[in-house]
Amino acid sequence: MQIDDETSLARAFAARERSAFDEAYRRYGGLLYSTAMNVLHNPDDAQDCVHDVLVRVWRNPNAYVSGRGALRSFLVVCIRNDAVSRRRSANRAAVLAHRLEAQTQIEEFEIEDFVQNAKLHDAIAQLPEEQRKPLLLAYFQSKTHVEIARELDVPLGTTKSRLALALRKLGAALKPDYQA
Amino acid sequence: MTEHLSDLAELYALGILDEAESRAVQSHARSCAACALRLSDAEQSTTSIAVLQPDFDPPPQLEARLRESLDHSASVSPKFRSTSMRGWPAVALALAAAVALFLIPFSLLMSQNTAMHVALSQDDGAFAQLLDSGFRHADFQPLRRSPIQAKVLYAPHGEWYYVIIMHPQPSTQVAYVHDGKMEMLGTPGMRGHTGTLFMPVHHKMNDLAILQSGAVVADAHLAF
């Protein structure tokens, strides 16, 4: 079966046509694996993450349904969330194994510490500091909203609002690149 | 979840919600077109960051693993395919099986085994709590490739916790994780291949860990 456009692919994937899975992996496999690698920094863990998530999504007929939105973004976020969860577990295990106190004081950091891409760097730099810091901690350090609120000494509700706003702004700023 | 997602859509797309919250977001988006649209927008924003991060080539064996897994699942009859059982009916079935398999045979030996008597008393308390009130449950996630399989049932406000572990070792312990520290809670009582630990602690514990020989092998995040 020939699946030419994203909409047809998404529809065929939702209908659980096996050829759609193969085509989705052909198109998005590199991005999905890179997404996992950029969180986990370990090829074996990244491979396990992508494998487990894709199999889980495919075996659950309710995971991706028609009308749910863009298939590529859906899969990217599924992979990233699973990778973040694995990273947090590993971090927690490391802390526990060494019986170390959790780090409670945040060190000063710059965007360059997390981002190499110039466009992404510039887009993040445009965000106000109160939105930029929690976004960097959430996206690039896999911190939870509770941890971010504590580290930045900001109320939890405010932290959530700022994170949501930061992502919306960043998405709007990067939209032309995303669609390219 | 009956209200619209609001900021939860972006928080989900950033990966900072816990497992239960994420499931609730996904579930709501399947039945609400407006929230599905907002969630999709948020996912595209996250993807816009992901595409600008460094690229890595997936290893060739990943595609082979995927094909093997999908072919295997397709060849298994749906009648016998393992499924994820969630909610009260599944837990009730599991508990009924536990009673049938373990409690009845072991009750014959109870008078000869003090340790078992104590453990059964704990189970009795746990079952009474389960019957009397609603509860939540969370799976322990193995760290790395640890084969451990375990689950915790717990009261919605943290009054009690009941941990079930398959094939625990003599050194297996359950711990409460908080503020970067670990507080040992106890050792599961053995039931053949299963270990259980009932803990009426009366406070909320968001993170639990299972240790074997002093090393953490699995953890669970509990949502309240």
Model pLDDT for residues B87-109, shown as the tens digit of each residue = 455 556 666 665 656 555 555 55
Q: Contact, B45 vs A167, CB < 8 A?
A: yes
Model pLDDT for residues B146-201, shown as the tens digit of each residue = 678 899 998 888 888 899 998 888 888 999 888 777 888 888 887 778 888 888 77
pLDDT for A14 beyond 50: yes
How large is the ipTM? 0.86
Helix, strand, or coil here: B169? coil
Residue from B19, B39, B43, B145 to probe the interface with A (highest A Cβ count within 10 Å): B43
Model pLDDT for residues B27-76, shown as the tens digit of each residue = 888 888 889 999 999 999 999 999 999 999 999 999 999 998 888 766 54
Model pLDDT for residues A75-94, shown as the tens digit of each residue = 999 999 999 988 887 776 66
Cα(A105)–Cα(A107) distance, integer angstroms: 6
Residue of chain A minimizing CA distance to B177? A96
Model pLDDT for residues A125-134, shown as the tens digit of each residue = 999 999 999 9
Give the pLDDT confidence score for residue B150 in this predicted structure.
Answer: 92
Give the pLDDT confidence score for residue B9 in this predicted structure.
Answer: 93
pLDDT for B205 beyond 80: yes
Residue of chain B minimizing CA distance to A18? B70
Do the chains contact at A116 and B54, CB–CB below 8 Å? yes
Do the chains contact at A178 and B43, CB–CB below 8 Å? no
Do the chains contact at A163 and B14, CB–CB below 8 Å? yes
Cα(B63)–Cα(B83) distance, integer angstroms: 24
Do the chains contact at B45 and A167, CB–CB below 8 Å? yes
Do the chains contact at B11 and A164, CB–CB below 8 Å? yes
Do the chains contact at B10 and A144, CB–CB below 8 Å? no
Over residues A52-73, the mean pLDDT reads 88
Q: Measured at the alpha carbon of residue A121, what is the angle toward residues A119 and A122, in degrees to the nearest 5?
A: 65
Using a CB–CB cutoff of 8 Å, tell me whether A102 touches chain B.
yes
Q: Measured at the alpha carbon of residue B15, what is the angle toward residues B19 and A63, in degrees to the nearest 5?
A: 60
Note the helical H segments in A1-116.
6-14, 18-40, 43-59, 71-97
| Residues of chain A with C-beta less than 8 angstroms from the C-beta of B30 | 62, 65, 68
- At B77, the pLDDT band (50, 70, 90 cuts) reads very low
Nearest by CB: A30 against B52, B58, B73? B58
Using a CB–CB cutoff of 8 Å, tell me whether A176 touches chain B.
no
Q: Measured at the alpha carbon of residue B170, what is the angle toward residues B167 and B172, in degrees to the nearest 5?
A: 75
Residue A91: which of B143, B170, B130 has the closest Cα?
B143
As a whole number, the mean pLDDT across chain A is 85
